[in-house]
Chain A
Amino acid sequence: MMRTSLAMRSLTITLALACGLSGMARAGVDEALSRHVLPGFGAFAESSAALAASAKEDCRAEALKPAYHAAYDAWMGVSHLHLGPLEQGGRALAIAFWPDTRGMVGRTVAGLVADADPVVDSAEDFADVSVAGRGLMALERLLYEPHLAGYGKGDYQCRLARAISVDLARMAREMDEEWPDFAGLLRSAGAPGNDVFLKPEEASQALYTALMSGLEFNRDQRLGRVMGSFERPRPNRAEARRSERSLRNVVLSLEALRDMARALADGPMEDSEAAFAQALERAEALDDPVLAGVATPQGRLKVEVLAQEIRRIEEAVAQEIGVALGVTAGFNSQDGD
């Protein structure tokens, strides 16, 4: 035992020295940052800014829907990157508060509208509003909930939609501005003075954890919550079902995760490629935008098969990328109940 720990210790020291001297990021980290992470946050900032511009131009529901979908699409490109800027100030919750197990979004939006809460008139104050009244899920209610969506230019809902869009654009812009610094920390993991990532492999582990947690979230939450139990499927729990994005979100998220996996992999990942391809094919063949099919045993089975295929991606990625990087997934923010 003594012998093992000594050997490990000297190995670690050697590694740290080697990387410290060369100042090189570990394989995959740089690629993931430059090919996936930074462009992804750039695209999200751009489409959120377009959403805010659209809302300033015309904040009525029909006018705003295209920009809402574009921003949501871009969000799916980065929503799994739960590290650094996205973890600051509760942004992940404020951008898309889901799952919403206690119906807080509906209640909070209804409350703001009923009170005609003047908080919407100050961007600074609006940033303090409950996350259930902000972000894409709150905006979805305004745009798609029949009793809310018929508002005109002079109505309170219009101001609320504008405030939500502007707030979203602010968060997206801030993250886009902050990421280069955080990327620097990941790239210089293990270098002297870097007190966030103490060893080179900690940067790989942080990105790998985001990848694995993202896969798990699709399986366990986006699909798992809707499937419920065999006796009691839960179609009403589908993510963003009002704007019919439930399946689209799974597909876009898997595509983004594949993009990240390819960048992070230091070589070919045949099994992972095959598993991604099969899951994506299955998802697209479902042709069921809000996963309503889970209500029937046959339809539920199809969603369950897709969930199993995502599990196969997780297994392949663990073998092909985790082992190669020499890391296992760390804790993720969904570890609670």
Chain B
Amino acid sequence: MKTSMTAMALVLGFGAPALAGKAEVLETYADIAHAGYEDSLLKARELQAAIETLLADPSPETLNAARAVWIEARVPYQQTEAYRFGNPIVDDWEGKVNAWPLDEGLIDYVDSAYGGATDENQLAALNVIANPTFTLSGEEIDAREITPELLADRLHEADAVEANVATGYHAIEFLLWGQDLNGTEPGAGERPWTDYASGDDCTGGNCDRRGAYLTAATELLISDLEWMTAQWADGGGAREAVTADPDAGIVTMLTGMGSLSYGEQAGERMKLGVMLNDPEEEHDCFSDNTHNSHFYDGLGVRNVYMGEYVRVDGSVVSGESLSSLVAESDEAVDAALRADLNATMIELGQIKASAEAGTSYDQMLARGNEEGEALIMSAVDALVKQTRSIERAVTALGVGQIGFEGSDSLDNPDAVFQ
């Protein structure tokens, strides 16, 4: 029997790569998650320091320094987004740190063209920074002191409206950049540094409350990232959950890759913006950092598959990969998926290159901008193509059947294999 199996392996062209077990692959997966959230946390602490400096000594330089750290902080965080779908611990938490799109009028002053309350959101123009007290769902709210609790427990997703985003990266982004009023023309948000000045220099009103909001939101971001980093440490809940059942863990990895690639990134974040010609439909719309947001999302998907992540200090976390596991079952499927992931990175890299050379993502969304549309849509097509390959990897691994057993799977729309 043993002899014949070897013979068959030779006939079928099996090489002799080290056999990666599912448990080892999942360990790499959890290690990368831990490193990614820890890097995000380290960067959030740097952001906090820069914001303290800004508030202590408001100036164009200190505002720009805080903005620069925010951009850096997005690099590790976006790479963790491949963990969101499939891991309930991450998905339930994610809205606190990266909710988007937002009705920013909830937080601070906005341009008159923004409009007021809408059918969907009565609080779209609440402006907490200007209003120490207000009514929320019939209840009088005391917002004289802006605290992390106020933002997290009262304002965030207030009235059960998802666009009421009071916390996380995009709330902070809005407070650092302000609205991008350039439409699909060049330029990002232009919030003046004097929005944080004291006394008569203060612009936009309530500079002290704006500073308090920024401080509270950053504090929350740090505590949320501390929590998630711990979830992926040894013995942490997210690590335990994904490693408990190896087959289910592998499905989680592939679900995260496929759902982010297709429904979320290709669909919700990229195609929709092109189809609406709407500059607000770009993921990092205040800072014009969308090209990076997309690029690092793509890289995060690739990290999960290749079992490799480059940390913010340049060190590398790597281990047994999902790629080698798939290759054991079907080398052609693995080769095609690797090629697709690389092709996506080239397409996303071209968008990034164009943006960094001065043609920002929102300009690409303009009605009738065929070059911009082609640039974005070729990345969308690459993401859709890699999704098909991810489905083939599921089939090759034979892990797709496990969900047939119960109906619980249907409670979770993200559990797409079930």
Contact = CB atoms under 8 A, between A and B. Distances in A.
A2 interface: yes
B12 A102 contact: no
B79 interface: no
B391 A205 contact: yes
B410 A8 contact: no
A216 interface: yes
Interface string A304-327: 000000010011001100110000
Interface string B367-395: 11000000000000000100110111001
Interface in A245-295: none
B349 interface: no
Interface string A123-147: 0010011111000000000000000
Interface in B354-375: 367-368
A229 interface: yes
B274 A90 contact: yes
Interface stretch (B65-73, B140-148, B260-268): B260-268
Contacts of B329: 5, 8-9
A104 B276 contact: yes
B164 interface: no
A327 to B, nearest CB: 8
A125 B418 CA distance: 43
Which of A12, A102, A336 has the largest number of chain B CB atoms within 10 A? A336
A299 interface: no
B407 A335 contact: no
Given A128-B368, A205-B391, A328 B403 contact: yes
Given A3-B5, A335-B264, A94 B391 contact: no
Given A130-B276, A328-B417, A335 B163 contact: no
Interface string A177-189: 0000000000000
Nearest to B91: A337
B416 A332 contact: yes
Given A311-B410, A328-B403, A331-B391, A337 B268 contact: yes
A65 to B, nearest CB: 23
B410 A125 contact: no
B262 A335 contact: yes
Contacts of B401: 328
B390 A331 contact: yes
Interface in A167-221: 198-199, 201-202, 205, 216, 220
Q: Majority SS of interface residues in chain A?
A: helix
B275 A331 contact: no
Contact of B120 (A5, A102, A199, A332): A102
B276 A331 contact: no
Contacts of A9: 12, 329-330
B374 to A, nearest CB: 12
Contact of B258 (A12, A108, A331): A331
Nearest to B8: A6
B310 to A, nearest CB: 26
B416 A330 contact: yes
A175 B37 CA distance: 45
Given A130-B277, A311-B407, A334 B162 contact: no
B186 interface: no
A335 B391 contact: no
A130 B119 contact: no
A287 to B, nearest CB: 25
Interface residues of A, number: 56
Given A5-B329, A229-B160, A329 B19 contact: no
Which of A8, A90, A220, A323 has the largest number of chain B CB atoms within 10 A? A90
A331 B259 contact: yes
Interface string A10-45: 101000000000000000000000000000000000
Contacts of A104: 276, 278
A271 B271 CA distance: 38
B57 interface: no
B237 interface: no
B368 A125 contact: yes
B183 interface: no
Contacts of A335: 85, 258-259, 262-264, 413-414, 416
Given A94-B275, A335-B264, A322 B413 contact: no
A330 B392 CA distance: 10
Interface string B1-17: 00001001100100000
Contacts of B258: 330-331, 335
B81 to A, nearest CB: 11
B159 A336 contact: no
A131 B413 contact: no
Which of A104, A216, A328 has the largest number of chain B CB atoms within 10 A? A328
Contacts of B280: 102
A70 interface: no
Contact of B275 (A90, A106, A202, A337): A90
Contacts of B85: 335
Given A201-B395, A330-B416, 20 more contacts: A1-B21, A2-B19, A3-B5, A9-B330, A102-B120, A199-B395, A220-B413, A236-B120, A311-B410, A315-B410, A328-B404, A329-B416, A330-B258, A331-B261, A331-B416, A332-B416, A333-B267, A335-B85, A336-B263, A337-B264
Interface of A: 1-6, 8-10, 12, 87, 90, 93-94, 101-104, 106, 108, 125, 128-132, 198-199, 201-202, 205, 216, 220, 228-229, 231-232, 236-237, 311, 314-315, 318-319, 322-323, 328-337
14 contacts: A1-B21, A93-B275, A130-B367, A216-B410, A216-B413, A220-B413, A314-B410, A319-B404, A329-B416, A330-B387, A331-B259, A332-B263, A335-B258, A336-B269
